[in-house]
Amino acid sequence: MRLGVLDIGSNTGHLLVVDAHGGAAPLPAYSYKQPLRLAEHLDESGAVTQTGIDLLTEFTAEALLVAEDKGCEEMLSFATSAVRDAVNSEEVLDHVLARTGEHIAVLSGEDEARLTFLAVRRWFGWSSGRLAVFDIGGGSLEIAGGTDERPDVAWSLPLGAARLARFFADRPDEAAIRRLRKEIRAEIARDAGHLLRAGTPHRAAATSKTFRSLGRICGAAPSADGQLVPRTLPLGALREWIPKLVAMSPEELAELPGVSANRTHQIVPGALVAEACMDIFDLSELEICPWALREGVILERLDSFSVTD
């Protein structure tokens, strides 16, 4: 069947059209996305601004038309941390429903981590043994680990690259870098024992645009080489790059491989979060997984078909 997956993230609204059936990998058929930057369309009270609401509503209406044109039989629509954490989340989603007729579900941070873990487990398979997964989104960082398809531990932290970028100057001084670095590491370390007490993972993986961009900067193969090419983000290379990234202007950052112009302000905060994850969990590198939350949502839906059948 053909499914439409509408992912309202903190950075981007993304409709992924896939051809899917049980026992097969979801096959992308079409992709439609727009930069919404909802994590940056928040007022001082933590509410999504009217501008953000209008952008989301307009994108949802457009995505529904695209899905209809592409022959989608079903829509799976969900929102993550920017909407989840907004003080007016119900008002935002009620507005979208009234204007478009589409109900967008809000995923909890734990569910976001769990579904991403499922996607990574299916991608790498059972031979990965004890698996640890890290996902830096726009609004939050998800961490999960375990030996099965459902993680033993899964949690979410307010350490998304876009969220942190709101409080971070384009050319931060050494004191600002150190202060942010300290805050990030304290937040991650607070619950690190959830994952560490099970022992060193046999495989550690990362998903998301931020990790992919950092991997590309550190020498990973370009996306044009295809999904099946192994890609890693080595801690040593990332540490060498962070001072260079801090010193670069937004224009210079935009010229780096894998970095889009509308995300240049997120690269340094994202790099500090990635470095902290590897350092605190004693990982020399992370393997970049091309599957993430959207694929996890699709796979869970396909699993529900098989149970029903």
CATH number of the domain to which 18 belongs: 3.30.420.40
- What confidence tens digit (pLDDT) does each residue in 109-143 have? 999 999 999 999 999 999 999 999 999 999 999 99
Which pLDDT band, with edges at 50, 70 and 90, does 172 fall under?
A: confident
Q: Which residues pair with 132 in a beta bridge?
A: 145, 204
- What confidence tens digit (pLDDT) does each residue in 36-69 have? 999 889 999 999 999 999 999 999 999 999 999 9
* Axis crossing angle, helix 109-124 with helix 293-308, rounded to the nearest 10: 80
Same domain, 18 and 138: no
More confident residue, 166 or 252: 252
Provide the domain count of the chain: 2
- Report yes or no: 144 and 151 within 8 Å, Cβ to Cβ: yes
CA atoms of 216 and 85, how far apart (whole Å) = 30
- Report yes or no: 248 and 171 within 8 Å, Cβ to Cβ: no
Same domain, 81 and 146: no
Query: For the whole model, what pTM was predicted?
Result: 0.95
Task: State which residues form the domain around 145.
Answer: 110-293
Same domain, 72 and 139: no
- What confidence tens digit (pLDDT) does each residue in 279-302 have? 999 999 999 999 999 999 999 998
Same domain, 231 and 118: yes
Same domain, 119 and 94: no
Same domain, 288 and 174: yes
Decide if 150 is inside a domain: yes
Percent of the chain with pLDDT over 90: 88
| Contacts with 95 (C-beta within 8 Å, 6 or more apart), sequence order | 53, 57
74-79 vs 153-157, strand pairing mode: unpaired
Residues 108-129: b if buried by 16+ CB within 10 A, e if exposed: ebebbbbbbbbbbbbbbeeebe
Same domain, 157 and 274: yes
Same domain, 164 and 41: no
Helix or strand holding residue 15 (H, E): strand 12-19
Three-class secondary structure of residue 149 per DSSP: coil
Domain boundary among 49, 77, 106: 106
Q: Dihedral (C-alpha) 163, 164, 167, 170: value to the nearest 10 degrees?
A: -110
- What confidence tens digit (pLDDT) does each residue in 205-255 have? 999 999 999 999 999 999 999 999 999 999 999 999 999 999 999 999 999
pLDDT at residue 21, as a whole number: 82
Same domain, 195 and 249: yes
pLDDT at residue 308, as a whole number: 47
Decide if 305 is inside a domain: no
Domain boundary among 106, 123, 157: 106
